[in-house]
Structure 1
């Protein structure tokens, strides 16, 4: 047990309070994401429990927190609408098996080769879809089937709310706006001594307080008599449908998107702390095991999630015990206090998701991409986002990947990337990584492996004398590597190269070392 869950008095003193902070962050998000996915809220909580108790023990990223993710809510909503809730379980089991196979085949590192423009474009498109859908939930109405349908229906929803016979809708809007104002206001102006109290929880408490104290007739979370007993294994007929091509494509889509989001989140978590680095293939297998369990008991798709993970790190977590304990807190809440959920208005949870969706869709990502990588990369972000909103997620992501491939075609004519690791010797007074040819996302796993072999401490030199080109995916990864090196006391220096290429490399390396 000590191998999976290292416990000591010193680490537990940090992990125990951190786990409670993560529990407070996860509770409203698990319920809200479930409602946004078109399923009962307890299913999101079940996914949070499995993400803590199971994936937390097995994860390759010790401080990453797993659970239901807003990035998959749109996919699940559409799938449940077309195929029914019963089919989600078998498809999720198949997706989990694909993830475990990917971990065994050691393809985890390749997910880091996905262009940041595609990832941010996908998340921005999902954010827009979440906002458009949850604006209707804010009025106690049901969202439409697609993003464009939700957009077209917004003016009609506005006039419905303002009509004299829709006082219930107006009350729901008041609850939702109160939630949003309390969440955003708390995150901006909260006292330093209460900085660990999450804004999402404050928002839900404010919206719920308004509904309860004001006696407002708004929709509230519906809870079955037996929450855990309401979850059931998929029936035989649902398993038989797994052979249908539509179900195979759905499982593959869930597996790829969930894996990419989890591993990119894990990479971001690595930049937040100085502890053990992520074992990507182990993390991929752990996510697969979690999704299989979620599919068997009726939960939602599982991913590693950056909001809960960053809360975990900021709260001072030292080991994976914090993640495991947060799952135990959710389970204890479900068993002991399920009646509390019936007080929560659905409009309050919609308010949380409007803020979450807005942050996913933030134009700041496009501005960052433009400042560091140019207009063409922003074009990939924009194309991915627009197609996710107007068509579907798979079309948007595939289009983004094709555009990313076309972007690097000119670079491929400048030669294959060659990497040489030179130890400190007569040829190099400090360890040196020499790059030649063109560095694109197609060689990213090999470049990452070479950089990770460099020693910690002292200085490391990155030689670009013979480097002819480098794409934004490799630049982003080099920036992450330089950040980790800086945290361990290693100074990274760029030598050689000329013009814009040297400037890009120097900027990628220098930025994290100034933080």
Structure 2
């Protein structure tokens, strides 16, 4: 894990064109990351300084060590729901040791090279998990958008919706004194309750909650409108920044008495090192289970994001075990600083690639810019309304619910993986994240159970200057690490013939893995040929799968 070279660096350092591209990309990622760091901290029910510290560690520390050079790490929406429920039940002081322990598990996973096993989790379960989390984020942030406090569970948030709506029209509390109610998760800044500039007619007509809702909706419309209508020359300006900026401008101009972001006087004041007694609580069953949940979900989300980043560029491929190690180090540091857990984040990472990043320097510099902003201009963040951040998280939550992926599962793999997706989502929203993921995994195992008696045999040999890769038997998720190792170890300068003549079954996890590899190699210029399975005794979806691979290899 000592090699941290980048794909375009020269012996004397990065080329000027590369350094300039990385600098420009780092600024774009910084602008994307700031509202997300703030918003995810709010959605997690913790002080916003914790989200900023995680963003700094994710950029600088993980950026230097990462196995995916163009991936950008930081606090993730996918963990916000877990953290919110945990803090609500066990208290903020217990979070740091949990993050440290989760990081230690990730380091061990990287050291023992089990990164491929996280990729063996069914895509239906992973995307169902993200969709369920997205729905929970939306249900919670609707309350924040209306200036109210969200509950810990999805059903509780639905049940409390009437109360939050009623508060929009309830004038029982004077406007000047109600701002603190909207900021129950994060206290309002001292200037938030200053109503001297608020017109009397506005105070008579609108409650604080109604004003918060108007700012949130304005931010939401500005964000969506910018992403739909922005000029091509400004395509790198993130919609989240525009939405938060517009909502902040309105709140400042009208001096509205709504909850704002509150930062400590110094970033050091926002750091809370866990006490020894807090680490002793790791023996509590509920806390120990949370360690496992955060470690597994953070790792799965990181590797899913890294695989997506690999599909966006033709440079160095991700070293998944090293990426797990880097994430573990980052989470260990975050936990010791009392910050939020981090993962590789596709929103930041895709912005990084699209902005033209060439090396890991872009991710590292973005962390430096976050640190500089918090250290030099914290008062700038102190005017941001919480409801504007809720608007960003509403959009983020909606995007986690990828109906496009559900359609893809149905078109290529039928109803079974769609049913797994639906069951995972439903149980996460109505019951619990751990229950939902557990049921999804159990259903995935039930799907492949009839085929587990057939083992997959993989043979690679050279024929006429090409590589013949023969797959024989049944390919299921249990074979994915070996399959991945074989595919990713093939020499890059040889054509490949994939022989599936005696292949009987391929589950959707293995099928998607092979498809991703074929599409990536086709973009890189590799020629591929596919020998289809025999008709007798083969699963009905093998024929369509090989026709799909043929088409992807020619694309």
Query: TM-score, normalised on structure 1?
Result: 0.96
- Residue 546 of structure 2 is aligned with which of 505, 510, 514? 505
| Alpha-carbon distance in 2 for matches of 1:87, 1:160 | 33
> By how many angstroms is 1:207 displaced?
1.0
2:415 corresponds, among 375, 385, 388, to: 375
Q: Which has the higher Rg, Structure 1 or Structure 2? A: 2
In structure 1, the residue matched to 2:110 is 103
Aligned partners of 1:44, 1:465: CA distance in 2, in Å?
Answer: 52
> What is the CA distance between 1:91 and its match in structure 2?
1.0
What's the secondary structure of 1:494's corresponding residue? strand
Rounded to whole Å, the distance in 2 between the matches of 1:454 and 1:182 is 48
Give the superposition deviation at 1:309: 0.3
Question: CA–CA distance in 2 between the matches of 1:203 and 1:365?
Answer: 27
Structure 2 segments unaligned to the other structure (5+ residues): 173-205
- C-alpha contact 1:15 1:316 (8 A) present in aligned 2: yes
String of CA shifts for 1:62-92, please: whole Å, max 9, x gaps: 0000000000000000110111111100111
Q: Rate the CA distance shift 1:235–1:381 in 2: closer, same or farther, 3 A.
A: same
The worse-fitting range, judged by mean Cα deviation, of 158-167 and 314-323 is 158-167
Q: Is residue 2:514 matched to residue 1:475?
A: no
Aligned to 2:66: 59
Matched with 1:195 is 235
- Distance (Å, rounded) in 2 between the aligned partners of 1:99 and 1:119: 18
Contact in 2 for aligned 1:31/1:41 (Cα 8 Å): yes
Q: Does 1:265 align with 2:305?
A: yes
Counterpart-to-counterpart distance in 2, 1:233 and 1:512: 52
Residue 354 of structure 2 corresponds to which residue in structure 1? Answer: 314
Match of 1:117 among 102, 107, 124: 124
- The aligned residue for residue 168 of structure 2 is 161
1:289 corresponds in structure 2 to 329
Could you tell me whether the CA contact under 8 Å between 2:528 and 2:553 is conserved in 1?
no
Task: State the TM-score, normalizing by the size of structure 2.
Answer: 0.89
Query: Which sections of structure 1, spanning at least 5 residues, go unmatched?
Result: none
Correspondence 1:312-391 to 2 at 5 A: 312-391=352-431
Partners of 1:482 and 1:513 within 8 A in 2: no
* Partner in structure 2 of residue 171 of structure 1: 211
Q: CA deviation at 1:458?
A: 5.8
Deviations 1:358-416 (A, max 9, x none): 11123222222111211110000011111111111111111111110000012224x21
Deviations, residues 308-338 of structure 1 (Å, cap 9, x unaligned): 0000000000000000000000000001110
Compared CA separation, residues 162 and 432, structure 1 to 2 (3 A): farther
- Give the secondary-structure state (helix, strand or coil) at the position aligned to 1:277: coil
Residues 90-146 of structure 1 deviation map (CA, whole Å, 9 limit, x = unaligned): 111111111111111110111110000000000000001000000000011110121
Cα distance, 1:3 vs structure 2: 4.6
In the alignment, is the contact (CA less than 8 A) between 2:527 and 2:553 conserved in 1?
no
Kindly tell me the number of residue pairs found equivalent between the two proteins: 510
| SS, match of residue 343 in structure 1 | coil
Residues 1:239 and 1:504: Cα distance change in structure 2 (over 3 Å): same
Q: Do 2:4 and 2:64's aligned partners in 1 also have CA atoms closer than 8 Å?
A: no
Asked whether 1:71 is paired with 2:112, we answer no
**1:10-25 alignment runs, 5 A limit:** 10-25=17-32
Change (3 A) 1:250 1:218: same
Cα deviation code 1:193-219 (max 9, x no counterpart): 001111111110111112112222211
d(CA) in 2 for partners of 1:73 and 1:256?
Answer: 15
